């Protein structure tokens, strides 16, 4: 609010002969009024629609008078002071000293950042920093002109607003809902709405469970600097003593966020319990991005008892990646921890190393695109057994797998004058697998698999209106992949989904340890309604036919046999980001074998 008064200081320090309706350079004070005159007692008087402006700061009043001998500035309202930065003062009358550091405003109301209203019988200005409001009502609810009581308010004998510290101090504060007093506090401190971050208590919460009873959480926010903060939350009940912590820090090239808890309770009185989640991302040199996620917990029952997370499999990872127009590289390290009953982490591939590289080339001599891609992957189980132990699965307990997969392919699109679009693809893939701690499979495997495909599409566009268009595109593809499948375990492609995204893929397995072989044909049709200013709709239908039955496709995948189920898919979305997606598979008898709806 101090800026609101600086404009007047500039005005009264300006020579009177140049004050009336002056419009100087940027930063100069401007005073506009219907009448402007000086009395015999050397009192400057501005009357009628008085408006004073300097920069973004604006003062409107009925009349302003300044006594040059006493230095007293008297303003007759209604008065509106607006600093252009979110603080507004409304008053009936005001009396201020020459330096505008001290004074009195009667019938005043202060509005901070369009969020908080403070109505007072009078406001005293002290030392240009403090505003003392007497008999004050404070609320963030809309105050109606008819005098209707707001939903909630804080009434206080006195409120002091410290503009430098951006704090509000209440004396004898009573919190009311409508006109009903709820509780009384002799002293209360709140940050004003212009302060983005400040240390202090946050809203408490109550949590009740059958195991831990009724407990109270009282969070306290600690500002450690402009880029760091810590939130400490004691959680106390008859059965637990828990301390929750959250630490955040921003850097010039990234940020980190850690959240966790430390617990001593009656559920496991001899154990120290808790959890830790952390995440971060940093922009590195040469366009690289480094990110990490940490998730760990003391025991399997902790989340179900305390409700901090509903995950039953925790994934921690460290990833370094870089994406450019014609290349992509990524290296990741993962660690998994299962909390599911019946799953033993020692027999699960909990440690995973994964990397990929892709580069595109555009040879001008032959046209089209040449794409080179490499993948490296390794997963390890901590068990040392090379056979399947006494557990429900049929997987060797200690099997470890490492692989390197590469692919070199050529892609070219031809668009004919008739509108027919032809996409040609040809290339080869090479694969190396290393399987250890498994007595049922040989250790080393390798192969080379050539492939090719030709896809035809014929998009037909219909303009419905100036903004809306419809596109109908029938598609057909014939592809071939050579070689025989290697005798290796199916570790990564255990779940296969048939959808519109892989209708024209040469292999619908999600990972390279499985690949479709032989001749494969796909037929489909796509319809789209496109409106950049409204809603879009997409409908797809398709089916896959193959020369060789692949036993790795289950019946529920929709891809078993020499012909797949009939795929029907649709999506509706609008410019606000809302979308609904549906997918259905129909078997040979046109019965629904699988359906899903997402929104």
Write out the DSSP string of 373-434: EEEEEEEE-S---SS--SSSS-S-TT-EEEEEEEEEEEEEEEE-TTS-EEEEEEEEEEEEEE
Angle at 224 between CA 218 and CA 228, to 5 degrees: 100
Looking at the structure, do residues 151 and 218 belong to the same domain, yes or no? no
My answer on whether 81 and 108 are in the same domain is: yes
Do 9 and 155 fall within a single domain?
yes
314 lies in some domain: no
In a domain, 417, yes or no: no
For residue 251, tell me if it sits in a domain.
yes
Are residue 488 and residue 539 in the same domain, yes or no?
yes
**Euclidean distance between CA atoms 206 and 246, whole angstroms:** 19
Burial of residue 87 (CB within 10 Å: 0-12, 13-18, 19+) is buried
450 and 543 in a common domain: yes
State the Cα–Cα distance between residues 3 and 59, nearest whole angstrom: 11
Do 175 and 117 share a structural domain?
Answer: yes
Give the SS3 label for residue 584: strand
Q: Are residues 224 and 169 in the same domain?
A: no
In contact, 482 and 448? CB cutoff 8 Å: no
Neighbours of 182 (CB within 10 A): 9
- Do 187 and 270 lie in one domain? The reply is no
127 located within any domain? yes
Cis previous bond, 78, omega within 30: yes
Element (H, E) at 2: helix 2-12
For residue 420, being part of any structural domain is answered with no
* Same domain assignment for residues 141 and 219: no
Structural domain span for residue 201: 197-279
Last residue of a domain, one of 253, 279, 305: 279
- 267 and 142 fall within a common domain: no
Contact at 8 Å (CB) between 382 and 346?
yes
Give per-10-residue mean pLDDT for the chain (599 aa): 45 42 51 86 87 80 86 86 78 77 83 85 86 91 72 93 90 92 92 84 91 94 94 96 97 97 94 97 97 96 95 97 97 96 92 97 94 97 91 88 97 96 97 95 95 97 90 97 92 91 93 93 96 92 95 90 95 91 93 91
3-state secondary structure of 516: coil
Of 248, 279, 310, which one is at a domain's C-terminal end? 279
Q: Return phi, psi of residue 84, to 5°.
A: 75, 0
Domain assignment present for residue 274? The answer is: yes
Domain count within the chain: 3
Cα dihedral 459, 462, 465, 470 sign: negative
Query: In this structure, are 491 and 582 located in the same domain?
Result: yes
**Cβ proximity of 253 and 240 under 8 Å:** no
Examine the fold and report which residue of 219, 248, 279 is the final residue of a domain before the chain moves on. 279
Q: Do the Cβ atoms of 154 and 138 come closer than 8 Å?
A: yes
* Domain contains 520: yes
Domain contains 309? no
* pLDDT at position 147: 67
Q: Are residues 497 and 578 in the same domain?
A: yes
Q: Residues 537, 575: contact at Cβ < 8 Å?
A: no
């Amino acid at each position: 609010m101090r800026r609101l008064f600086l404009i007047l200081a500039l005005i009264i320090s300006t020579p009177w002969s140049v004050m009336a309706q002056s419009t100087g350079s940027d930063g100069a004070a401007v005073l506009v009024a219907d009448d402007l005159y000086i009395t015999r007692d050397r009192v400057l008087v501005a009357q009628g629609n008085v408006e004073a402006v300097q920069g973004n700061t604006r003062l409107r009043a009925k009349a302003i008078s300044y006594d040059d001998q006493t230095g007293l500035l008297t303003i007759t309202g209604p008065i509106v002071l607006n600093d252009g930065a979110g603080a507004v003062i409304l008053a009936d009358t005001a009396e201020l000293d020459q330096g505008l550091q001290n004074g009195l405003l009667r019938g005043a109301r202060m509005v901070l950042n369009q969020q908080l209203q403070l109505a007072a019988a009078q406001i005293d200005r002290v030392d240009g920093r403090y505003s003392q409001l007497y008999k004050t009502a404070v609320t963030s609810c809309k105050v109606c002109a008819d005098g209707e009581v707001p939903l909630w308010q804080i009434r206080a004998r006195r409120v002091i607003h410290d503009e430098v510290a951006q704090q509000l101090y209440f004396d004898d504060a009573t919190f009311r809902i409508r006109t009903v007093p709820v509780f009384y506090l002799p002293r209360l401190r709140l940050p004003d709405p212009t302060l983005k971050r400040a240390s202090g208590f946050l809203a408490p919460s109550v949590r009740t469970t059958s195991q831990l009873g009724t407990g109270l959480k009282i969070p306290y926010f600690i500002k450690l600097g402009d880029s760091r903060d810590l939130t400490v939350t004691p959680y106390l009940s008859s059965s637990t003593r828990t301390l929750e912590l959250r630490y955040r820090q921003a850097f010039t090239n990234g940020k980190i966020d850690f959240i966790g808890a430390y617990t001593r309770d009656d559920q496991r009185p001899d154990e120290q319990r808790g959890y830790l989640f952390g995440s971060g991302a940093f922009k590195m040199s040469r366009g690289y991005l480094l990110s990490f996620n940490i998730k760990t917990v003391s025991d399997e029952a902790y989340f179900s008892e305390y409700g901090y997370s509903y995950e039953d499999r925790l994934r921690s990872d460290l990833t370094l990646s870089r994406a450019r127009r014609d290349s992509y590289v990524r290296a990741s390290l993962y660690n998994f921890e299962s909390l599911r009953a019946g799953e033993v982490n020692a027999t699960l591939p909990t440690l995973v190393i994964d990397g990929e590289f892709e580069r595109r080339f555009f040879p001008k001599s032959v046209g089209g695109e040449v794409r080179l891609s490499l993948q490296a992957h390794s997963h390890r189980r901590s068990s040392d057994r090379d056979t399947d132990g006494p557990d429900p699965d049929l997987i060797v307990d200690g099997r470890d797998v490492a692989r390197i997969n590469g692919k070199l392919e050529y892609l070219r699109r031809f668009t004919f004058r008739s509108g027919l679009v032809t996409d040609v693809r040809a290339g080869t893939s090479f694969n190396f697998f290393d399987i250890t701690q498994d007595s049922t499979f040989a250790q080393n495997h390798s192969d080379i698999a050539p492939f090719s495909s030709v896809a035809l599409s014929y998009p037909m566009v219909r303009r419905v209106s100036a903004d809306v268009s419809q596109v109908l595109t029938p598609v057909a593809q014939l592809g071939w992949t050579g070689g025989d499948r290697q005798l290796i375990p199916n570790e990564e492609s255990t779940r296969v989904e048939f959808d519109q995204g892989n209708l024209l893929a040469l292999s619908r397995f999600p990972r390279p340890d499985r690949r479709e072989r032989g001749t494969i044909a796909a037929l489909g049709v796509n319809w789209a309604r496109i409106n950049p200013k409204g809603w879009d709709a997409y409908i797809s239908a398709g089916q896959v036919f193959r020369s060789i039955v692949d036993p790795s496709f289950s019946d529920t995948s929709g891809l078993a046999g020499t012909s797949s189920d009939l795929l029907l898919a649709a999506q509706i979305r609008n410019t606000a980001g809302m979308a609904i997606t549906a997918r259905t598979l129909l078997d040979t008898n046109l019965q629904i074998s699988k359906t899903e709806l997402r929104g």
